[in-house]
Structure 1
């Protein structure tokens, strides 16, 4: 489905979801089949590729400079109104939209060799992150998007809530970026067995 670029920057402005560390979220609140995917600290890109026989595609919805949301600024310790590179994509497994991902990359991170993050095009950011020896990841936070007012892009308005998401601050060469991922209702590999032996696999 072709959508105009203006649609991707239209957000429901009412509220943000409550992000909490995975360890503090009660088991009964998170769908059992989704919990391993939310808590896995390995490469989601690789997990999805395994689940769709390497037929994973990245559909870029938006990539431009913008002001991050309040919770994103707090996670990255950014001053108010500080611009960052905002990248939004859909990850499609076998042609079906499985995951919506939003990345916030401060301009101070896009220096030196990390300038290449400006030209990801349709390559998955996760593959780059987990191939980096300098990469470190802060604890995973999760949130439930239980209404269309939880600041989701208009492109996701057709999906029926609730939807669960996770996010983490990553550091490359000690420079931070924030990656958030929302599992869509059309995500089918809930029962895919996950191997935790290759948590840094690309």
Structure 2
């Protein structure tokens, strides 16, 4: 079993470049920044959307039992048709209502960032980062550890864990 060591800004700031700090700890919408960086040539590819059991670091931060399933959405965020970010978002199954257009389960190709930042009803936890091992991501072109960040978004009725893993081509677009 792979254990991830998530750290806050003060614990890791000395290990990051200025560019890495800027992207990893930005509190605004990553989607909005990617749209700007790509000069509106942004797209989203859905890899998977299904109910499943979570990894230890995920059920721990969500404060749920390891026996509880959640709705998991995995997508690739692209700039100029190039994969930049692998995102894994988790919403607790108990707060998913069938046929409710407000839930993660029903947003389709719409970026999650649009839902979270445009509503104003979500509060964001602190951002934590880690080096994400390639073994966790099922993408054949990943050959190294990657910088990743996570935070929880909470409203009165929903808790959503958002994890964003920055792919190698993303950093090339930022140099």
TM-score (structure 1 length as normaliser): 0.79
SS in 2 for 1:68: coil
Contact 1:160 1:185 in 2 (8 A): no
User: How many Å separate the matches in 1 of 2:8 and 2:112?
Assistant: 22
User: How many Å separate the matches in 2 of 1:114 and 1:68?
Assistant: 24
Deviation at 1:133, TM superposition (A): 1.9
SS in 2 for 1:34: helix
Per-residue deviation, residues 30-75 of structure 1 (Å, max 9, x unmatched): 2332210001000000000011111111100000000111110011
Contact 2:52 2:69 in 1 (8 A): yes
Query: Structure 1 residue runs of 4+, over 6 Å off?
Result: none
Structure 1 unaligned residues grouped into runs of 5+ = 1-13, 192-202
TM-score (structure 2 length as normaliser): 0.91
1:182 equivalenced with 2:165 (yes/no)? yes
User: How many Å separate the matches in 2 of 1:87 and 1:53?
Assistant: 25
Deviation at 1:181, TM superposition (A): 0.3
Alignment of 1:82-161 (within 5 A): 82-111=68-97, 115-145=102-132, 147-149=133-135, 152-155=136-139, 157-161=140-144
Compare the two structures and name the one with the higher helix fraction. 2
Per-residue deviation, residues 108-158 of structure 1 (Å, max 9, x unmatched): 22249575321111110011100112110000000012x434xx2221x42
Structure 2 unaligned residues grouped into runs of 5+ = none
Higher normalized contact order (CA 8 Å, seq sep 6+, divided by chain length):
1
Kindly tell me the number of residue pairs found equivalent between the two proteins: 173
Alignment of 1:4-153 (within 5 A): 14-27=1-14, 29-111=15-97, 115-145=102-132, 147-149=133-135, 152-153=136-137
1:170 equivalenced with 2:157 (yes/no)? no
